[in-house]
Amino acid sequence: MLQIYCPYCKQTREEEEFSYAGEAHIKRPSDPQAASDKEWGDYLFFRKNPRGIHHEMWQHSAGCRRYFNVIRNTVTYEVLESYPMGTSPSEQPAHAATISTAGELQ
């Protein structure tokens, strides 16, 4: 069970309160009319899908209902940092220490 920190509610809660919303920081083609099939395909379907550190979006669906970004390790399932939409992650993952306690990683 993941333990996820909501940067708006400022609370760490169980994953069941949240909905996953896919890879973060994907930019929609800035000029949609001019975008090629290749650009649309890449935007819509192709993903990094890394084994390791992943930047992803979650929604606090059973809480404040807002979207935010999370950095998570897809192998250890450690949630390293949460940060609001439109911001960049800090260099030092702020919440890693509180969340990475053993046993919380599943």
Partner 1 sequence: MEKYSLFKLFNHARTYNENWQRAWRSPVPKSDYDVVIVGGGGHGLATAYYLAKVHGITNVAVVEKGYLGGGNTARNTTIIRSNYLWDEAAQLYELSLKLWEGLSQELNFNVMFSQRGVLNLGHTLQDMRDIQRRVNANRLNGIDGVVLSTAEVQARVPLMNCSPNARYPILGASWQPRGGTARHDAVAWGYARGADALGVDLIQQTEVTGIRRHNGAVVGVETANGFIGARKVACVTAGNSGVMAAMAGLRLPIESRPLQALVSEPLKPCLDTVVMSNAVHGYISQSDKGDLVVGAGVDSYNGYGQRGSFNVIEHTLQAICELFPSFSRVRMNRHWGGIVDTCPDACPIISKTPVEGLFFNCGWGTGGFKATPGSGYVFADTVANDRPHPLAEAFNIDRFYSGALIDEHGAAGVAH
| Nearest-approach distance from CB 65 to partner 1, in angstroms | 17
6 binds, options partner 1, Zn ion, none, Cβ within 5 to 8 A by partner type: Zn ion
Amino acid at residue number 58: W
CB of 41: closest distance to partner 1 in angstroms?
4
Q: Does 105 bind Zn ion (CB under 5 A)?
A: no
Gyration radius of the chain over CA positions: 15
Residues 9, 63 contacting (CB under 8 angstroms): yes
Q: Closer to Zn ion by CB, 12 or 42: give it.
A: 12
Q: What is the DSSP letter of 33?
A: G
